[in-house]
Amino acid sequence: MDKKIFDMGPIDIAWCPGCGDYGILNAVKQALAELNIPPEKLVIVSGIGQAAKLPHYMKTNFFNGLHGRAIPPATAIKITNPELVVIAESGDGDIYGEGGNHFLHAMRRNPDITVIVHDNMVYGLTKGQASPTSREGFKTPVQVEGVILKPFNPIAVSIANGASFVARASITDIPGTVKILKQAIQHKGFSLVDLFQPCVTFNKLNTYQWFRENTYYLEDTYDPHDRIEALKRSFEEDKFPLGVFYVKEEKTFEENNMAYEIDKTPLYKREVDLK
């Protein structure tokens, strides 16, 4: 399938020139096209932020909800209509900060959704405050002497918390990112892709160059089925590993749900029978 099918034609995109989000928009379209997922069968759920504007820039069904709240509607949409491909996509502040509790518990349900986090280590739309993944010492108008909180490690926490697919990508390598996104979307169950994205305007610390210099791919021999090994690698921060850290097969929220025990027709197609 040609990724043009997702193109909006000439529109005004609100992102800064050079923003990593353009690359992500491309990679997402590419991955979906290669997987032959048509816009009509796709729903992208986002919160609020620069990252969360992504669905506005491609042809798809979308639910651009509240800041921090992309995952609950995504979970509900998937179980209401399992025939849809559901992607929750937003920023690091949105999903790990405001939405942290949903992030934590959604993976326990293991709905078959893909969560893509534009991790630019900053709050972009609100003009540059620290995000949960901001590095210690990162200076901002609010963290005037630099961040004193330990950065949140989404990879380690997700693995420890039993997520069934955990990966990290960096948009500094689009083809590599497309490959990872495809695996994530194809994975049956909750999949997380923490996606490094340079914010050229508010994050002068974690730039394209920084991400290039501070990342590398897990070697081909790496086995993503060993949880402890995955955790070891997730703690590496001198250079951040990219790739799929951890995968496990597990029944999904939809498969386990009582509503689908007797009848498999999607919820939205059913009629109540009051007898």
Partner 1 sequence: MELKDDVSIVLCGEAGQGIQTVERFLTRVLKFDGFNVFAAKEYMSRVRGGFNSTEIRVSSNRVKSFVDRIDILVTLKKGSIEHLKKRVSNDTLILGEKANVDDGYDFVEMPFTQIATEIGDKIFSNIVAVGSISAMLNVEFDTIEEFLKAFFAKKGQDIVDKNVRAAKKGYDLGLELVKDGKIKVEVKKDKTVKDDLIFDGATAIGMGAIAGGCNFISSYPMTPSTGVLTFLSEHAKEFGIVAEQAEDEISAVNMAIGAWFAGARAMVTTAGGGFALMVEGMSLAGMIESPLVVNLGQRPAPATGLPTRTEQGDLLFALYSGHGEFPKILLAPGTLEDAFYLTQKAFYFADKFQVPVIILSDQYLIDSYYNVKNLDLPKSAPQKFVVETTKDYKRYALTQDGISPRGIPGGEGLVDVDSDEHDESGHITEDLELRVKMVDKRLKKFDAIKAEIIPPELIGSQKYDTIVVGWGSTYGPIREAIEKIGDNHTAFLYFKQVYPLHPDTKKYLQSAKKKIIVENNATAQFAHLIKSETGMDFDVKILKYNGMPFSTEEIISRLREGR
Ligand X SMILES: Cc1ncc(C[n+]2csc(CCOP(=O)(O)OP(=O)(O)O)c2C)c(N)n1
- Residue span binding a second copy (CB under 8 A) among the ranges 11-19, 54-62, 83-91, 93-101: 93-101
**Is 28 among the residues that bind ligand X (CB under 6 A)?**
no
Shorter beta-carbon distance to a second copy: residue 34 or 229: 229
Task: Enumerate the β-bridge partners of residue 166.
Answer: 192, 246
- Does 118 contact ligand X by CB under 6 A? yes
Within 84-164, strands assigned E span: 85-91, 114-119
29 counts as binding partner 1 under rule CB under 8 A: no
Distance CA 81, CA 42 (A): 11
Number of other CB atoms surrounding residue 171 within 10 Å: 25
Position 120 contacts Mg ion (CB under 5 A) = yes
Contact residues for 44 (Cβ-Cβ < 8 A; gap 6+): 54, 55, 58, 60, 61, 62, 63, 87, 88, 89
| Residues 119-138, interacting with ligand X (CB under 6 A) | 120, 122-126, 131
Q: What torsion, rounded to 10 degrees, do the Cα atoms 202, 208, 213, 214 define?
A: 50
201 near ligand SF4, judged by CB under 6 A: yes
Q: Which two tokens stand for residue 10?
A: 């000439």
Size of the site for ligand X (CB under 6 A): 18
- Minimum distance of Mg ion from residue 198's CB (angstroms): 11
Site for a second copy contains 262 (CB under 8 A): no
Closer CB to ligand X, residue 153 or residue 164? Answer: 153
Closest to a second copy by CB, 96 vs 196, is 96
Which does residue 104 touch among partner 1, Mg ion, ligand X, none (CB within 5 to 8 A, set by kind)? partner 1
Least distance to ligand X, CB of residue 124, Å:
3
Q: From residue 119 to residue 148, what is the string marking binding to ligand SF4 with x (rule CB under 6 A)?
A: -x---x------------------------
Which residue among 161, 186, 209, 265 contacts a second copy (CB under 8 A)?
A: 161
Please provide the DSSP assignment of 24-88 as one string: HHHHHHHHHHHTT--GGGEEEEE-SSSGGGGGGGSSSEEEE--TT-SHHHHHHHHHH-TTSEEEE
Say how many C-beta atoms besides its own lie within 10 A of residue 31's C-beta: 25
| Position 84, amino acid | L
90 in helix, strand or coil? strand
Q: In the complex, which residues of this chain contact ligand X (CB under 6 A)?
A: 48-51, 67, 90-94, 118, 120, 122-126, 131
Q: In the complex, which residues of this chain contact ligand SF4 (CB under 6 A)?
A: 15-16, 19, 21, 50, 120, 124, 199-202
